[in-house]
């Protein structure tokens, strides 16, 4: 199983046995409200998602990782690089979720995202990584800006939540910007 490490986290491939751990928090609306679909997920659906994610990994069309705490070895979240265009050398952050609310704010998300970006730029030689975030998710927008993502505009009224339409903010970070800020992390080095 491929693993990439930061100061706090280790990114690793998911295993079907992770489904129950993920599901323990996945259906929590406080987490789900920020994901593209806030609908509940069954254990069978989660296992199918993991199998599909691993097929994408094998085909090199997407890379979904479990975020593991280096200190405890416990799975604390998910992150993925999706919608990869090998021609334009770009990819999208599709999911970044720290599952257990008791560890929110402890740095796992930023550490894991920096490791994922390093993977995108140093291993896959991506040129650009982008993401979409609902405009009501101001905490996430500040988080991504802190990492180095830049606001590139918005798509009007694309998101729907609690009976209201919201804009979606498009953000990206270029390889040159990442390298200037973080450098390319030598294999096995801490972020």
Given a cut of 80, whether residue 186 has pLDDT beyond it is no
Give the tens place of pLDDT for each residue, 29-77.
777 777 766 678 899 999 999 999 999 999 999 999 999 999 999 999 9
Given a cut of 70, whether residue 152 has pLDDT beyond it is yes
Instruction: Specify the higher pLDDT residue, 116 or 100.
Output: 116
Give the tens place of pLDDT for each residue, 43-55.
999 999 999 999 9
Q: Is residue 120 part of a domain?
A: yes
How far is it, in rounded angstroms, from Cα 28 to Cα 182?
33
Q: Is residue 122 part of a domain?
A: yes
How far is it, in rounded angstroms, from Cα 184 to Cα 134?
29
| pTM of the predicted protein model | 0.90
Closest CA to 132 of 177, 94, 88, 178: 94
Q: Is residue 135 part of a domain?
A: no
What's the domain count of the chain?
1
Q: Is residue 172 part of a domain?
A: no
Look at residue 189 in the predicted model and tell me its pLDDT: 42
Which token pair is 180?
Answer: 């200037």
Pairing assessment for the beta strands 150-161 and 63-69 based on DSSP bridges: unpaired
Give 24's pLDDT tier (boundaries 50, 70, 90). Answer: confident
CATH number of the domain that residue 36 is part of: 3.40.630.30
Q: Is residue 191 part of a domain?
A: no
Q: Is residue 189 part of a domain?
A: no
Structural domain of 60 = 3-130
Q: Is residue 166 part of a domain?
A: no
> Which SS3 state, helix, strand or coil, does residue 29 take?
helix
Q: Is residue 39 part of a domain?
A: yes
Beta strands in 99-163 (DSSP E): 128-134, 150-161
């Amino acid at each position: 199983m491929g693993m990439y490490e930061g100061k706090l986290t280790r990114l690793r491939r998911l295993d079907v046995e992770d489904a129950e751990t993920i599901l323990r928090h996945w259906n929590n609306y406080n987490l789900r409200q920020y994901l593209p679909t806030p609908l509940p997920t069954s254990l069978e659906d989660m296992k199918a998602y993991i199998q599909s994610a691993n097929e994408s990994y094998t085909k090199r069309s997407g890379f979904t990782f479990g975020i593991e705490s280096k200190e405890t070895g416990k799975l604390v979240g998910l992150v993925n690089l999706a919608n990869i265009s090998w021609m334009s050398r770009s990819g999208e952050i599709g999911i970044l979720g720290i599952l257990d609310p008791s560890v929110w704010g402890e740095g796992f998300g930023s550490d894991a995202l920096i490791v994922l970006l390093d993977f995108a730029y140093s291993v896959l030689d991506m040129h650009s990584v982008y993401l979409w975030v609902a405009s009501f998710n101001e905490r996430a927008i500040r988080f991504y800006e802190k990492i180095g993502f830049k606001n590139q505009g918005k798509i009007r009224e694309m998101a729907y939540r609690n009976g209201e339409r919201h804009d979606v903010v498009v953000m990206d970070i270029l390889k040159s910007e990442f390298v200037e800020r973080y450098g390319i992390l030598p294999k096995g080095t801490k972020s």
